[in-house]
Chains A and B, each alone.
Chain A
Amino acid sequence: MPTEDREDLTARADPVAPAATADPMAPAAPAVRFDRVTKRYGDRTVLDGLDLEVGRGERVTLIGPSGSGKTTILRLLMTLERVTDGVIHLDGEPFSHMPGGSRGKLVPANERHLAVRRRRIGMVFQQFNLFPHMSVLENIVEAPVHVLGESREDAGRRARDLLELVGLGDRADARPTRLSGGQQQRVAIARALAMRPGILLLDEVTSALDPELVAEVLDVLRDVARSTDITLLCVTHEMGFARDVSDRILMFDRGRIVESGPADELLESPAHERTRAFLGSVR
């Protein structure tokens, strides 16, 4: 309706055509690649020519002061925002852009280009964002049935399995508004996983929770990280959790990566003064 029919008529996007920018010599394309990505709101630059690669199955945590651009990275990847400049690649193919115009020059992606590709990505939000007019089970079943075309029986069975996984097997018929914050967030995790995403984005998923509810959510996520090979991009202030699940931690400040390294290394002996100051402030 309002946005779906916004098609770029000059674009002849062929989803299976090799992308002009893909490197044929690369062994395996990274799951996510930001290529000189800039994001501005008006004259405020949130990301400034960011280069970032996340390998398949890699778990990366983004840390840094608020306003440093971490959440913007997740929102750009989820297509909730559009890049101002630069290109985001998914599995080695342009995602934020698509071949179009003359000689396969990249143009900003239209809705059709994004629609199929973004199904590889799932996201869990700080405020849960469950659908209040649906039961817990309906929240989880909704997209598998209406987007992936699964049968109600199959989707329902899998939803119940996922509810068991997040420890809410007995709340399938409850309204989200009747659940605690921690329970709602666990439902949101199950809902995201129901779409079988290859990449899961976690945007400060415990920041809106009462302190005593944080652990139950993080335990579920540790489980997910342990039992799947999903690619994780995580923005969090929970350093213990970051250390447990991350292969790599990136320290952000003012839209740039200040420092990056293996979780233990970066948390134990940060090389950069800015990182030391930040870690000192969150502990």
Chain B
Amino acid sequence: MADLLPVAAGFLPELRRALPRLAEGVLVTVEATVLGAALALVLAYALGLLSRSDRLPVRGGARLVVEFFRGTSLYVQLFWLFFALPMLGFRLEPLACAVLALGLNYGAYGAEVVRGAVAAVPRAQTEAGIALGMGAGLRLRRVVLPQAHALMVAPFKNLLVQLLKATPLLSLVTVPDLTFQIDQLRSSTGATAASYLLLLGLYFGMAVVLSLLMNALERAAKARLGQEGGA
């Protein structure tokens, strides 16, 4: 600790000067997380529901997409979008690559969450819907999904925090996110330990905020099912 002090003395003024850029970095990280999670959510629902289809080609197609994006690393997917796709004539903005890669990768994991949650709603609920003359679409929308949502929130919370923690990868494809900016700070000050300690603290803070938001969502979802005080 004592060794850090002299460095910290020079570090603080640098940090103060770098604050606007750090704030921008936080915004970029938040933006990538929110947009990536939004795309992942849409894909999770689409792929998760399609993989329960009665039609083999539909189900098979959805399963293939899910297994592909779960089975290849986010790192490789991101590099492919950023470095390989331009060679085929499609050039995407770095942030667009990031959002697409995060959305596809976490959407594939999310699809398994959606599929599992829908399957976990008791068959008796579907039967009650049939007995009331409800068609398949209505049963899904009004009976099964509202109950499945409560089961999805906790696993989605994990995925969301994991997605946030995966965003430092984006700095490797020139997205000026928080990690990118802290790295700049580190190279200009040489205060490696202090810079990365700050980075740890900032990610932890963001993860805590996300968790608290998701916990509130989970309580609301449980209350809607009449399971007050659950979890």
Contact = CB atoms under 8 A, between A and B. Distances in A.
Q: Binding site of B, secondary structure by majority: helix, strand, loop or mixed? A: helix
A2 B136 contact: yes
Contact of B134 (A80, A133, A143, A175): A143
Given A142-B142, A146-B142, A176-B226, A3 B134 contact: no
B136 to A, nearest CB: 4
A78 B137 contact: no
Interface stretch (B16-24, B83-91, B122-130): B122-130
A119 B225 CA distance: 27
B226 A147 contact: no
B226 A175 contact: yes
Interface stretch (B49-57, B154-162, B182-190): B49-57
Nearest to A120: B133
Contacts of A131: 125, 128, 143, 147
Interface in B45-68: 49, 52-55
Given A4-B136, A146-B138, A122 B131 contact: yes
B125 A129 contact: yes
B132 interface: yes
A36 to B, nearest CB: 25
- Please indicate which of the listed interface residues A133, A178, A191, A195 has the most CB atoms of chain B within 10 Å of its own CB: A133
Given A129-B128, A132-B147, A177-B226, A3 B142 contact: no
Given A133-B147, A133-B225, A191 B132 contact: yes
A88 to B, nearest CB: 15
A79 interface: yes
B6 interface: no
A119 B132 CA distance: 7
B168 interface: no
A147 B150 CA distance: 25
5 tightest CB-CB pairs across the interface, nearest first?
Answer: A143-B132, A4-B136, A129-B128, A175-B226, A119-B133
14 contacts: A1-B137, A3-B136, A78-B127, A115-B133, A125-B127, A129-B127, A131-B125, A131-B143, A142-B142, A143-B134, A146-B134, A175-B226, A177-B226, A192-B131
Interface of B: 49, 52-55, 124-125, 127-128, 130-138, 140, 142-143, 146-147, 150, 224-227
